[in-house]
Amino acid sequence: GEDVEQSLFLSVREGDSSVINCTYTDSSSTYLYWYKQEPGAGLQLLTYIFSNMDMKQDQRLTVLLNKKDKHLSLRIADTQTGDSAIYFCAESLYNFNKFYFGSGTKLNVKP
Amino acid sequence: NAGVTQTPKFQVLKTGQSMTLQCAQDMNHEYMSWYRQDPGMGLRLIHYSVGAGITDQGEVPNGYNVSRSTTEDFPLRLLSAAPSQTSVYFCASSGRGTGGFEAFFGQGTRLTVV
């Protein structure tokens, strides 16, 4: 399968910005996604970006895509304790029916 | 998660038993898929379907069967459960949304094989 890599842990203080990074290997990726998973729960779609875009902003979330470096990031502004969760980066290829996931970044927000 | 319903939420099986995990979506999506989530490994694709009557294998298909007789339903069958199939299983439904191509996941089924 395709390689999607993320760092395993990130710890920030409440009110700070969080930046979660992801790298992928397949240059034919069509969409790149960010999902949030709280303990014992399913995956919640946070946002996604089409591969011909550089940036997408949605309230406190900003997604940056660097296609040249195959690097995707998710910035959460004013991080809250309710943002503590595991965040998964995923890519879908041109055929849309397969998604490749990173192993997830566990975000810990300290009060 | 909007529109994808998985049942059951929890299940304990004995080695060798069979069972079916149910998945239904009401978004009229063409694509449905099954993933398993193991600690530290993200999600891995088991089987997927691009439409009714069409299924194909993903990364880890061994020990699982699927069928897609309707657009709405995509059940996953464990033929003879093994402890290595202890995992959390997620069903996904994907298709064109208002903003692009979206994929939604069910709440998951936690399966333990003893």
Percent over 90 (pLDDT), chain B: 77
Contact call for B59 and A42, based on CB within 8 A: no
Query: Which pLDDT tens digit goes with each residue over B15-71?
Result: 999 999 999 999 989 899 999 999 877 889 999 999 999 999 998 999 999 999 999
What is the residue type of A101?
A: F
pLDDT value at residue B1: 46
Query: Which pLDDT tens digit goes with each residue over B100-111?
Result: 778 889 999 999
pLDDT value at residue A2: 66
> Considering only residues 85 to 114 of chain B, which have any Cβ-Cβ distance to chain A shorter than 8 Å?
90, 92, 94, 99-108
pLDDT value at residue A1: 52
> Considering only residues 3 to 62 of chain A, which have any Cβ-Cβ distance to chain B shorter than 8 Å?
4, 8, 30-31, 33, 35, 41-45, 48, 50
In angstroms, what separates the C-alpha of A77 from chain B's closest C-alpha? 23
Burial (0-12, 13-18, 19+ Cβ within 10 Å), B75: middle
**Alpha-carbon gap, residue A37 to A31, rounded angstroms:** 19
Q: Is the pLDDT of residue B80 over 90?
A: yes
Measured between CB atoms, does B7 come within 8 Å of chain A? no
pLDDT value at residue B96: 79
Contact call for A99 and B45, based on CB within 8 A: yes
Query: Which pLDDT tens digit goes with each residue over A21-41?
Result: 999 887 676 788 999 999 888
Q: In chain A, how long is the greatest CA-to-CA distance?
A: 43
Task: Give the mean pLDDT of chain A.
Answer: 89
Listed in sequence order, the residues at least 6 apart from A40 whose beta carbon sits closer than 8 Å to its beta carbon are none
Percent over 90 (pLDDT), chain A: 58
Tell me what the mean pLDDT of segment A91-109 comes to. 84
Q: Is the pLDDT of residue A96 over 90?
A: no
